[in-house]
Structure 1
Amino acid sequence: MIPTFTRAYQAAAAIAGFRIVAFADAANNATITEASTQTGAFLGVSDRQGADAGGMADVHRDGLGSVELGGTVAAGDPLTADADGKAIAAVAAIGTTKRIVGYADEPGVSGDIIDAFISPGVLHVPA
């Protein structure tokens, strides 16, 4: 891992290590939670320890970080979150928008922890 920006946030609920995280309440950015949708704004990836509910979680927001996979990805695939905050390949259909946390730096399958270039953004395919 070569994170270039890491920040601590309070966990609204337990957060596992190497998970994609988002604000628990986007209107009040006081706490974070594991991401559970492909359309919510991602902050980055939790560090190895994660956090208990109410505890502090370090979040890698930029740079090379590790993330647990929820499906098969190829090196270079844009990554989004599954319902458990694990990374899956982002595939946007025509007329859709998906949030991404970054790009896979290596291939892997569900359950693997891989390096990824963390750079939250948006994947949009116009109609």
Structure 2
Amino acid sequence: MNIPGLTVAKTAEGEVKPRVIVCHGSEDGLAKTAIDGNALLIGVSTIVGGGDGEVFDVVRSGLAQVFYSEAIAIGDPITAAADGRAKKAASGDFIIGYAEEVGDTDELGSIWVCPSKLA
């Protein structure tokens, strides 16, 4: 399911593939593929990613589709894997939100985008 709320334009710092989790880049207005749960996760790229320096859209709230990197269950807290795909979060990770659909490796799933940090 894909029901985006707030969607903003960002400039890619490095290549950002479609349907991956992103974090802030090194300067205002930049975003890059998230590689883990150690940085604040800000959203999910849409069906169109962006090459380095290109503008792309980021879903900042609502429901967004993202590629899963492992088996995910409904309600799992989600963080970023090394390639920006969704994986289950561990204690202390920044999360992008919670899984809305069951899915497995390389499948598109839906997450509720509500960034926070697990205790």
Is 1:121 the counterpart of 2:116? The answer is: yes
- Figure out how many residues of one structure are paired with residues of the other and give that number: 118
Q: What does residue 70 of structure 1 align with?
A: 69
Q: What is the TM-score when the length of structure 2 is the normalising length?
A: 0.95
Q: How does 1:37-56 map to 2 (within 5 A)?
A: 37-56=36-55
Q: What does residue 57 of structure 1 align with?
A: 56
Is 1:90 the counterpart of 2:89? The answer is: yes
Distance between the aligned counterparts of 1:46 and 1:86, measured in 2? 11
The one-letter amino acid of 1:23's match is H
Cα deviation, residue 30, structure 1 = 2.9
Cα deviation, residue 11, structure 1 = 0.3
**5+ long unaligned stretches in structure 2:** none
Cα deviation, residue 32, structure 1 = 1.0
Distance between the aligned counterparts of 1:57 and 1:71, measured in 2? 26
Cα deviation, residue 38, structure 1 = 1.1
Moved over 3 A (4+): none
Q: What is the TM-score when the length of structure 1 is the normalising length?
A: 0.90
Distance between the aligned counterparts of 2:62 and 2:84, measured in 1? 19
Q: CA RMSD, aligned part only?
A: 0.8
Q: What does residue 22 of structure 2 align with?
A: 21
Which residue of the other structure, out of 89, 103, 109, is the alignment partner of 1:108?
A: 103
Distance between the aligned counterparts of 2:103 and 2:28, measured in 1? 32
Tell me the percent identity: 32
The one-letter amino acid of 2:110's match is D
Three-state SS of the structure 1 residue aligned to 2:115 is strand
Distance between the aligned counterparts of 1:29 and 1:105, measured in 2? 31
Distance between the aligned counterparts of 1:77 and 1:37, measured in 2? 16
The one-letter amino acid of 1:16's match is K
